[in-house]
Amino acid sequence: MSRRRPLGLRARLVMTFAVVAAVVALAVAGISFTVVRSLTLRQATDVAVREARVHLDDAAATLSAASSPEELRRFLAQLRTRSRADVIAVADGQVETTTPSLTVASVPEDLRPAVDAGRVVTRRTVLRSDAVAVVGGAVQPDGPAFYFFYPQQDVADDLLLLARVLAATSGVLVVVSAGVGAVAASGVLRPIRRTRAAVREVAAGDLDTQLPAQGGDDLAELARAFNTMTAALRHTIGDLRELEAGQRRFVSDVSHELRTPLTALTTACDVLDANKDGLTDAGRRAARLVVVESRRLAALVEDLMEISRMDAGAADMTLERVDVTRSLHGALRSRGWDHQVAVHADGQPTTLIDARRLDAIIGNLVGNALTYGRPPVDVTVRSSDDAVEIDVSDSGDGIAPQHLHRIFDRFYKADRSRSSGGTGLGLAIARENARLHGGDITVRSEPGRGATFTVRLPRRRSP
């Protein structure tokens, strides 16, 4: 199950603006609606109560406890033309109304005891799906009781409209706030995006990258710190490059200076080796040691000179179309290894490579397999449309896992107790030769099951 990607800073800022705006808008809308509703209903109720009191005063002047039902009906008929309310009159158990649909059951139950007690009271209720305000009062303690039903549906409709307007306004405010948040986030994040781009440029090697650092805010301080860091990196890396260049020049100069005397020494050692029969046993052993070590020193100097040329970018490349399988057989045959190594070739792939450098790669890998591994040693050639791969496998003890990641380092030897043999530069030179062709060398190994080095060379159709 894939993890959800976290929201970016811009999205979080916009959401924060929107959420804050929504909370504020809802709070303001809720408070506004509550206040307006309370004031509107109170005003409508006060108007209804004032009008009802006027009608109750008229009833008190016109009617009494002894008034006949006919007089009560005439008074209600007058109210029908003067009042906007529907009216119920109750006198001595007799009920008269201005609207046939009204009954005593329409009066809220908690209203009648208060009216019977001589108070003028009001209640809001719903009658036939319409909002009404019911005002009740009696003319005299023993006189008729009147209940006035004032319609308030228009007030309810106005309040509903107000609620919709406030909701729409809140929605618009949230959208506008989100837009403002997006604009504000763009302004805030612009320096951060510049910093991110600058960091990527520095990571890519452009140490001249600088950030504008105007002002005194935190982002300006960050930009100044970044510029100071890149300046320090330029200085440090410049010093390291000068030191590295000096070391390369030193190695190259020493190698060149040693080459001539070593050539003479090697020649003298060859003469000594050719005439060793006239020496004593101790002399022959000493002569053999001098010959072996002088040749090893000469090989080390040659390797150092080759590494120096590669480091300086001065390694020469002579590309030609080469049959890789045939070149492999030639490299083995020239070293007398053709009977010790089994070759498995997938056809005869050809590509543009430097034949001399391919010979050096094969010589190093197969030589290591024969020297430090155990037979059988197998070389397998595979080809595809875009690359040629050569596997060199042995059946030795393999390479311990802690050595695998450093096996191509210069002067690194997995067996530190080994004082003779290679210079420790062979694998490093072999990998550099492969990389000069745009390829590489990799290794895989399991202890006790040998090691396999894989050379991958891209197939080139033209120089």
What's 119's domain CATH number?
A: 3.30.450.20
Last residue of a domain, one of 125, 149, 165: 165
- Residues 341, 408, single domain; the answer is yes
Last residue of a domain, one of 264, 292, 311: 311
- Residues 246, 101, single domain; the answer is no
Specify the pTM: 0.49
Structure tokens at 418: 């080994």
- Average the pLDDT over 158-184 and give the result: 83
- Average the pLDDT over 186-191 and give the result: 75
pLDDT tens string 68-83: 778 878 887 888 778 8
Structure tokens at 239: 């010093």
3-class DSSP state for residue 167? Answer: helix
350-353 vs 387-393, strand pairing mode: unpaired
Half-sphere exposure of 113 (CA within 13 A, CB side): 2
- Residues 157, 123, single domain; the answer is yes
What's 337's domain CATH number?
A: 3.30.565.10
Cα 441 from Cα 138, distance rounded (Å): 110
Last residue of a domain, one of 264, 287, 311: 311
Confidence of residue 1 (pLDDT cuts 50, 70, 90): very low
Which of 109-118, 132-141, 245-254 bottoms out in mean pLDDT, i.e. has the lowest? 245-254
For the chain, the farthest-separated pair of C-alpha atoms sits apart, in whole angstroms, at: 167
Which of 88-92, 95-99, 160-164, 296-300 bottoms out in mean pLDDT, i.e. has the lowest? 296-300
Confidence of residue 393 (pLDDT cuts 50, 70, 90): very high
What's 282's domain CATH number?
A: 1.10.287.130
Distance from chain centroid for Cα 371: 50
- Residues 13, 87, single domain; the answer is yes
- Residues 266, 329, single domain; the answer is no
Q: What residue numbers bound the domain in which 268 lies?
A: 219-311
143 touches 60 (CB < 8 A) = yes
Residues pairing with 455 in the sheet? 390, 441
- Residues 39, 104, single domain; the answer is yes
Residue from 27, 48, 4, 273 nearest 151 by CA: 48
